Structure 1
């Protein structure tokens, strides 16, 4: 197998490409760091991160992620620079997973603990070409993306009634009048009887509340939540459903205060306050231009909430892929936006070297103006080694549910080294269809060979055009 190269392949066949809807980065969950450390670990097939290789870049982003959570890099910008197909977007997605994997442990009123996963930091991504819209100006589009990446965590104190249902009595009128009832509820320290109205009775019937259930009642809106069944009533029935949850009877006062946290973005607040339909404007998608006066009023209100302790500003991450597509006006706007008080962390990615900045004739590094580049912390992204390519292809075969033997995997790795990782991943899917065509369940060497000749990579396609141009320029006659 070591003697086989892409030039030795001679067999051909035909195939259909069936897409299964799996995205190129659907296997990536986080940066894959060691526990309580910023050191990356090499991926194992039974792991959960999905990241392979790029040890230096992953370590650099691990340091950035720690600083982001501690809010030490507000208004900073990071540039991921490297050749195409080296995993820049994958690194950004891994950073997003790293920021959003914090597990918060909450203690319920019944004494039980519950782990809740919360998105700690907002993460917004877009491509540099998305700013060129026919409906919105470039600055308005960038402003909306920037404000989407800034979260507002609003705290609200609600009063709850939490206890075990002792007795529930509902009187239904024969004449069809209003329903009436009484609810006896207790904790380990006290017991109280509440009069029930029609709305509360309907909610109780909807939730199927019975004696022995542990419930919470929101005094503001009357919402009833069933936490489970009391342990003291666990022997009331011989048979219980598998989904039956037993909890302890709550302790202390029946009426308790609970702090509820809502997280929204500044852009959501902008849209709600700038449209007559309010919250429904978020679902219509027609945000349009938002005036500066409305945004200034919202910023002042948010600052006021922050001073009163009602809200907390959570600067997020704005990821701009293909940032070399931004022109001088967009780069100047980003320069100014990074200096504002409410600014997210901007992470940009590009595969350009020395090239012209869009809108200028000047040759600049990575296609960015010198003033914006001077603000960036540049993280180099290196090409994958052979062992990394092989491991990534194994992960993709598992993700796409494709079985491939060792010889086929080695050839795909060789192809990835000579061409690109993206091309090898594409060949993996079509090779699977070729193997299914011949009635096999495992992709073998001959399937990869046939797929390689059926689908050209960019280098071979350019060579074909040089040898046999599709259109000869001298055959075209220009007429007035």
Structure 2
């Protein structure tokens, strides 16, 4: 059972993941993309194309097809994939995989891809659960150094005050719930519920009538009523699990304690286990207790896949039950890995013929400015207008990613000077301390004779 404790006092804070602000594709009723909506900015044609794909999926007309996102680095390909998943529903499974991850020492390529596919297919189960439900009044996510990477901070504990129309309760929970809250971008004013037994967190929407909503929330967030009654209550819920979750649960019942401590989770799952899971899910569906939800499998840097993997994915697209396959690449014409054949985007033509291709373009200065502003707001960093203009200039001269990466160093420099507002001098100081690619290349050329070859 997930450990949730009630406490007396909490402070407000938050932590944002890179795409936590995206809630959809930002499309109006006529199917046209708004310039700024749902946390997305610009890329109007690409977002409208993605919306058409969402409609095809809803109508069941994407069988045997996939999507390929093509564009230069930093043009929002991953954001588009997240937007597609959000449009399909909050509980739609979204599994992100980098192409290089399939080359595992422990697992075969086909096993890695099979697990990725089953992580992208959900099972929605209806049952009664004991939950904590309410609007977030106060929130503090405590972070600590990762046990795996000491240079990365991860959520370790969360203190949260939930309120209904009739009651308020303050809770504290561990890293499992804290990670979900940080990943989902839950903030003050959101209506959520937490499963008291499993610790599963669900974001329902933005509470109606609250002040201080962020600009992209006002336009795109789903407004819901504040719940009534007690915070802790029994509720008839629908939980979504992936086929992979069920595979692991069933397989874990038949392994020994020594296998658990030998990192069994990195080993292959037998086909017998998967057949038992499929049979169990089918039985629940026949009883009306569950339904299948095809999710999104997003593979970034798809040009890194080899010819055998492309063959496997081509067959997977033709399967009766398959997730929506979204590939992304920033390559032009290059060799297909494992062959000497050159092809567009490094992919076989027979696979490209099965994909709907969506292109993204570099952001304009105004679009870059809006994106920087949204990221600063998401990270709770206050920028003076001149600082925002300086970041826009750096994005134009270097890259949008470089400009966004300077946000938090600039905030640290501002706090060192006793200020909460980032000024233009803070941004310039951060830019001086951290080189962009152009300056790094210039540095290498200047000291070329001193570098090892």
- TM-score (norm. length: structure 2): 0.66
Offset, 1:262: 5.3
Q: 1:244 to 1:137 in 2, by over 3 A?
A: closer
The Cα of 1:463 is off from its aligned counterpart by 1.8
Name the SS of the counterpart of 2:70 in structure 1. Answer: strand
**Alignment partner of 1:129 out of 100, 108, 114:** 100
2 CA distance for matches of 1:383 and 1:461? 22
CA distance in 1, matches of 2:97, 2:20: 17
The equivalent of 2:33 in structure 1 is: 40
Q: 1:404 to 1:265 in 2, by over 3 A?
A: closer
* Whole-angstrom distance in 2 between the partners of 1:329 and 1:55: 35
Q: 2:44 aligns with which of 45, 55, 59?
A: 55
Structure-2 residue corresponding to 1:22 = 16
Counterpart for residue 406 of structure 1: 385
* Residue aligning to 1:220: none
The separation in 2 between residues aligned to 1:77 and 1:62, in whole angstroms, is 14
Asked if 1:425 is matched to 2:396, the reply is: no
DSSP-derived class of the 1:360 partner: coil
The aligned counterpart of 1:150 is 121
Unmatched segments (≥5 aa) in structure 2: 1-13, 129-226
- Comparing 309-318 with 280-289, greater Cα deviation is found at 280-289
Structure 2 counterpart of 1:359:
338
Return 5+ residue gaps in structure 1 as ranges: 1-19, 102-118, 159-242, 247-257
Residues 1:272 and 1:22: Cα distance change in structure 2 (over 3 Å) = closer
Give the Å deviation of 1:93.
Answer: 1.6
- Tell me which residue corresponds to 1:8: none
Match for residue 66 of structure 2?
A: 77
Q: Does residue 437 of structure 1 match 2:430? A: no
Q: How many pairs does the alignment contain?
A: 336
**1:465/1:140 CA distance change after superposition, 3 Å:** same
Tell me what 2:291 maps to: 312
Match of 2:203 in 1: none
The CA deviation at 1:447 is: 2.2
- TM-score norm. by structure 1 comes to 0.63
Q: CA deviation at 1:443?
A: 2.2
Q: Distance in 2 between matches of 1:263 and 1:282?
A: 25
Counterpart of 2:242 in structure 1 is 265
Structure 1 pair 387/373, CA: closer, same or farther in 2 (3 Å)? same
Residues in 1 aligned to 2:108 and 2:304: alpha-carbon distance in whole angstroms: 16
The alpha-carbon deviation at position 401 of structure 1 amounts to 1.9
Instruction: Write out per-residue CA displacement over residues 18-39 of structure 1, whole angstroms, 9 at most, x where no aligned residue.
Output: xx953322222221222x4422
1:53 Cα offset (Å) = 0.7
Q: Which residue of 2 aligns with 1:323?
A: 302
Q: 1:345 to 1:447 in 2, by over 3 A?
A: same
- Contact 1:272–1:282 (8 Å) recurs in 2: no
Q: d(CA) in 2 for partners of 1:386 and 1:338?
A: 39
Separation in 2, partners of 1:148, 1:303 = 17
Contact 2:82 2:94 in 1 (8 A): no
RMSD: 3.2
Rounded to whole Å, the distance in 1 between the matches of 2:273 and 2:403 is 50
Match of 1:140 among 102, 111, 115: 111
Q: 1:244 to 1:402 in 2, by over 3 A?
A: closer
Matches within 5 A, 1:91-110: 91-101=80-90
CA contact (8 A) 2:365 2:396 kept: yes
- Matched position secondary structure for 1:97: helix
Could you tell me whether the CA contact under 8 Å between 1:271 and 1:287 is conserved in 2? Answer: no
Which residue in the other structure is 2:172 paired with?
none
Structure 1 residue aligned with 2:57, among 54, 68, 72? 68
CA distance, structure 2, for counterparts of residue 92 and residue 78 of structure 1? 9
How far apart, CA to CA, are the structure 2 residues paired with 1:32 and 1:411?
A: 27
Deviation per residue, 1:280-338 (Å, 9 max, x gap): 99998726212234434544565566567665332221111121221112111111111
Matches of 2:89 and 2:292 in 1, distance apart? 16
Change (3 A) 1:402 1:310: closer
Q: Is the 8 A contact 1:271 1:282 kept in 2?
A: no
In 2 relative to 1, CA 471–139 (structure 1 residues): closer, same or farther, beyond 3 Å? farther
- 1:467 aligns with one of 438, 446, 450: 446
Displacement of 1:77:
0.8
CA contact (8 A) 1:305 1:311 kept: yes
Structure 2 CA distance for aligned equivalents of residues 466 and 135 of structure 1: 40
Matched-pair contact (CA < 8 Å) for 2:120–2:296: yes
Match of 1:333 among 309, 312, 317: 312
Whichever of the two has the greater Rg, that structure is: 1
